Chains A and B, each alone.
Chain A
Amino acid sequence: EPEVTQTPSHQVTQMGQEVILRCVPISNHLYFYWYRQILGQKVEFLVSFYNNEISEKSEIFDDQFSVERPDGSNFTLKIRSTKLEDSAMYFCASRPVWETQYFGPGTRLLVL
Chain B
Amino acid sequence: DAKTTQPTSMDCAEGRAANLPCNHSTISGNEYVYWYRQIHSQGPQYIIHGLKNNETNEMASLIITEDRKSSTLILPHATLRDTAVYYCIGGDNQGGKLIFGQGTELSVKP
Contacts and interface: CB of A to CB of B under 8 A. Distances in A.
Interface SS of A by simple majority: strand
B86 interface: no
Majority SS at the chain B contact face? loop
Interface residues on A, range: 20 to 34
Interface residues of B, number: 21
A5 B75 CA distance: 27
A56 B97 contact: yes
Nearest to B34: A100
Contact of A43 (B46, B94, B100): B100
Across the A-B interface, the 5 shortest Cβ-Cβ residue pairs: A103-B43, A43-B100, A45-B97, A31-B95, A103-B44
A48 B44 CA distance: 16
A93 B93 CA distance: 14
B95 A105 contact: no
Interface of A: 4, 31, 33, 35, 37, 39, 42-45, 48, 50, 55-56, 58, 89, 91, 93, 95, 98-106, 108
A72 to B, nearest CB: 19
B98 interface: yes
B43 A100 contact: no
Instruction: Identify the interface centre among B45, B95, B98: most chain A CB within 10 Å of its CB.
Output: B95
Contacts of B97: 33, 45, 48, 56, 58
Given A42-B102, A48-B97, A100-B34, 19 more contacts: A33-B97, A35-B100, A37-B41, A39-B41, A43-B100, A45-B97, A45-B99, A48-B95, A58-B97, A89-B41, A91-B43, A100-B46, A100-B49, A100-B93, A101-B98, A102-B46, A103-B36, A103-B44, A108-B41
